[in-house]
Amino acid sequence: MKTFLKVADTGSFTSAADKLSMTPQLASKYVRALEEELEAQLFHRSTRRVTLSDTGAAFYERCSRLVDDYEELKSDVRQDTRTLRGELRVTAPHCLGERYLVDALADFSDQFPEIHASLELTDRYVDLLEEGMDVAIRVGTLADSTLLARQIGMASDVLCASPEYLSGAPSLKQPEDLKNHTCIVDTNFKQRNKWPFEINGQSKVIEVTSRMKINNASGARALALKGRGIVLTPSYMVADDLAEGRLVQLLGDFTGSTLAIHAIYPSTRHLTARVRRFVDFVAQRVKHLR
């Protein structure tokens, strides 16, 4: 049943076998044995891809719950949370991951030494089922999907610059004044150089000009610290810089965009004890963000 689930998730006997540390021949043998026992065809097989049959799709969800319930049952019988075990595959965006998830995953692994964890930091969209991920941490508005989401924290967009830049810059009292300033654009930001503000209770987008663009919030922060201009960036990127005076928040009365932080998991997969515990663990790390 575990092999069947992995083949369904990856769409390939070879990929499933690799993830389960077995040969493709053995993975195929296990699935054939399951099909013979059930007297049903679970997959449509071709030279390019393996896809679930209608019967296989119906079987998948209940099979997934049975396997995960069994793993959780073993932990419950042992009556010791330290026995949480198995693979934990997590993906997160680069900047949030570097600042919070790396330490969180290391501490989680120390607490549960029989968890084998992997973290993929990427700003691209990751298909959790296609790539065999257990959970994704995502920031911002979620796209419509069949995935389940739990909000674990909040952040906000912050407009800021270094004292060095501000010492020789024009006055900045309202968002329209940004046209007189040098701005640093993070091209990973969905609207790029179109920055949102709240003016007299109305949402308004200000298009800023930029001499420097970069596709990474850490890089945009570094440029701001060097006095190269004004940056709009998530609050978790600059919280320490603002607190210690390396950067100064600007137009605080006009910037109100909030960024929800979610943990995402496939709706077809029952939430295992290790995933649930990890999400709780990360939620404690990011709950203070604003």
3-state secondary structure of 288: coil
**pLDDT (0 to 100) of residue 177:** 93
Token reading at 170: 């024009």
CB 237 within 8 A of CB 98: no
pLDDT, one tens digit per residue, over 148-190 is: 889 999 888 899 999 999 998 999 999 999 999 999 999 888 7
Give the list of residues 6+ apart from residue 254 with CB closer than 8 angstroms, or none: 174, 175, 197, 198, 199
225-276 tens-digit pLDDT: 999 999 999 988 998 999 999 999 999 888 767 888 999 987 655 567 788 8
Cβ-contact 130, 247 below 8 angstroms: no
CA pair distance 119, 136, nearest whole angstrom = 10
Residue 85: what pLDDT?
A: 77
> What pLDDT does 81 receive?
53
CB atoms within 10 A of CB 244: 8
Give residue-wise pLDDT tens across range 24-68. Answer: 999 999 999 999 999 999 999 887 789 999 999 999 988 987 887
Mean pLDDT for 206-225 is 91
pLDDT bin (cut points 50, 70, 90) of residue 114 is confident
Give 22's pLDDT tier (boundaries 50, 70, 90). very high
- In eight-state DSSP terms, residue 5 is H
Instruction: Count the alpha carbons within 13 Å of 177 in the hemisphere toward its beta carbon.
Output: 11
Question: What is the amino acid identity at position 239?
Answer: A
